[in-house]
C-alpha cells in the first residue's frame, strides 16, 4: 500500500484518503474486493482509528468505497457516466466505460397509447405505438430497464427486426434511415416496483434514477418516448457548466 509523509503539512486523514485513492486507481484494491480492516490500516499508516475512519468515510461519500453491514468495506464498482448534452444510447455509454453491454428483451408488442401518451407524442386518435422494454447489462450485471414507445407508422415490422448491436438508436439510424436530432429529458429520483426490482436484482422501493425522454427526428416528429430506470449505484449523470451569466441574479 501507498505510504504517507509525516513531514507534510496536510492533515493525516487527508493523506490516508489520498493514499487509498491512489491504491484504488492503480488497482491495488480492485472493484468488489474488501480493503484492509481498520486495524490493518491503522497499523500500516501508524495513525489513530479516528483518522482511518474519517478517511474511509470520505471515500464512501465520494462513491469509491461502500460499506456492507457485517461484511466490511469494499471498493465500489465505477459508475457508468451518462454525459448530458448529446443523444447517447445506453449501449454506447456502457462501451465507453470499457464494459461489455448486453440486452434481454422483456416486451416487444404493439399497443394503443394512453390519452396522456397520445398528447405527449402528438399522435392522432387511433394511432398505435410499439413498446420495446429491455433489460440492460454491463459485464453481465443488470443496470437499467428501458421502456421505449415508438409510433407504429414510423417503424413497421420493428417487433420482428433484429436490432443492430442490440441498440434501438443504431437500428433506427441504420435500418430505418432516421436522423435523431434532439431530445427533451427529465431526470429525477424515484422508487422501483416489485417486478422491475426483481429484474434489476435490487430491493423493492430502492431509490433509482428515473429518466423520461422525448426524442425528435430532424423533421420535428417525435420518434420515441422513453422511460428508463437506472440503478443509482451503477449510473451517474455528468454535465459540463461553462461561463457565468452576464446579468447575475442578486
> Is the same domain home to 53 and 159?
no
Evaluate whether 18 touches 12 at the Cβ level (below 8 Å): no
Q: Higher model confidence: residue 164 or residue 144?
A: 144
pLDDT at residue number 247: 65
- Report yes or no on 248 lying in a domain: no
Least confident of 107-111, 131-135, 229-233: 229-233
pLDDT tops 90 at residue 32: no
pLDDT tops 70 at residue 234: yes
Q: How many domains does the chain have?
A: 2
pLDDT tops 70 at residue 78: no
> Is the same domain home to 138 and 60?
no
Alpha-carbon gap, residue 163 to 174, rounded angstroms = 10
> Is the same domain home to 133 and 161?
yes
Residue 79 banded pLDDT, cuts 50, 70, 90: low
- Report yes or no on 4 lying in a domain: no
Question: Three cell numbers at 85?
Answer: 448534452
Evaluate whether 230 touches 144 at the Cβ level (below 8 Å): yes
Alpha-carbon gap, residue 193 to 198, rounded angstroms = 9
- Report yes or no on 35 lying in a domain: yes
- Report yes or no on 244 lying in a domain: no
Least confident of 35-44, 66-75, 155-164, 228-237: 228-237
Question: Three cell numbers at 233?
Answer: 449505484
Alpha-carbon gap, residue 222 to 123, rounded angstroms = 9
Domain range for 66 is 12-75
CATH of the domain at 230: 3.40.1410.10
Residues paired with 74 in a beta bridge: 34, 66
> Is the same domain home to 135 and 180?
yes
Show which of 75, 94, 117 is a domain's final residue.
Answer: 75
Location of C-alpha cell 414507445: 149
Instruction: Label the pairing between strands 80-83 and 235-238.
Output: parallel
Residue 145 banded pLDDT, cuts 50, 70, 90: very high
CB-based contacts of 43, cutoff 8 Å, min separation 6: none
Angle at 206 between CA 203 and CA 210, to 5 degrees: 125
Q: What is the DSSP letter of 236?
A: E
Alpha-carbon gap, residue 18 to 107, rounded angstroms = 46
Show which of 49, 75, 101 is a domain's final residue.
Answer: 75
The CA dihedral of 61, 64, 68, 69, to the nearest 10 degrees, is: -30
pLDDT in tens, 38-47: 999 999 999 9
Handedness of CA 147, 149, 154, 157 (dihedral sign): positive
CATH of the domain at 56: 1.10.10.10
Alpha-carbon gap, residue 205 to 135, rounded angstroms = 18
Evaluate whether 35 touches 29 at the Cβ level (below 8 Å): yes
> Is the same domain home to 57 and 150?
no
Amino acid at each position: 500500500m501507498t505510504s504517507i509523509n509525516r513531514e507534510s503539512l496536510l492533515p493525516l486523514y487527508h493523506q490516508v484518503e489520498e493514499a487509498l485513492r491512489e491504491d484504488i486507481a492503480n488497482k491495488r484494491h480492485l472493484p468488489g474486493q474488501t480493503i484492509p480492516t481498520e486495524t490493518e490500516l491503522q497499523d500500516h499508516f501508524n495513525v489513530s482509528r479516528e483518522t482511518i475512519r474519517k478517511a474511509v468515510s470520505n471515500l464512501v461519500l465520494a462513491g469509491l468505497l461502500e460499506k456492507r453491514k457485517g461484511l466490511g468495506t469494499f471498493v465500489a464498482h465505477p459508475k457508468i457516466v451518462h454525459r448530458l448534452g448529446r443523444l447517447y444510447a445506453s449501449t454506447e455509454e456502457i462501451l465507453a466505460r470499457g464494459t461489455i453491454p448486453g440486452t434481454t428483451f422483456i416486451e416487444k408488442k404493439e399497443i394503443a397509447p394512453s390519452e396522456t401518451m397520445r398528447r405527449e407524442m402528438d399522435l392522432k386518435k387511433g394511432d398505435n405505438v410499439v413498446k420495446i422494454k429491455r433489460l440492460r447489462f454491463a459485464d453481465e450485471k443488470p443496470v437499467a430497464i428501458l421502456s421505449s414507445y415508438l409510433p407504429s407508422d414510423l417503424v413497421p415490422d420493428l417487433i420482428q427486426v433484429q436490432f443492430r448491436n442490440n441498440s434501438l438508436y443504431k437500428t433506427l439510424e441504420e435500418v430505418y434511415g432516421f436522423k435523431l436530432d434532439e431530445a427533451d429529458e427529465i431526470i429525477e429520483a424515484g422508487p422501483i416496483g416489485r417486478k422491475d426490482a426483481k429484474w434489476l436484482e435490487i430491493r423493492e422501493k430502492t431509490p433509482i434514477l428515473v429518466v423520461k425522454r422525448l426524442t425528435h427526428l430532424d423533421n420535428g416528429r417525435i420518434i420515441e418516448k422513453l422511460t428508463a430506470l437506472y440503478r443509482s449505484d451503477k449510473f451517474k449523470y455528468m454535465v459540463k457548466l461553462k461561463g457565468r451569466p452576464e446579468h447575475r441574479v442578486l
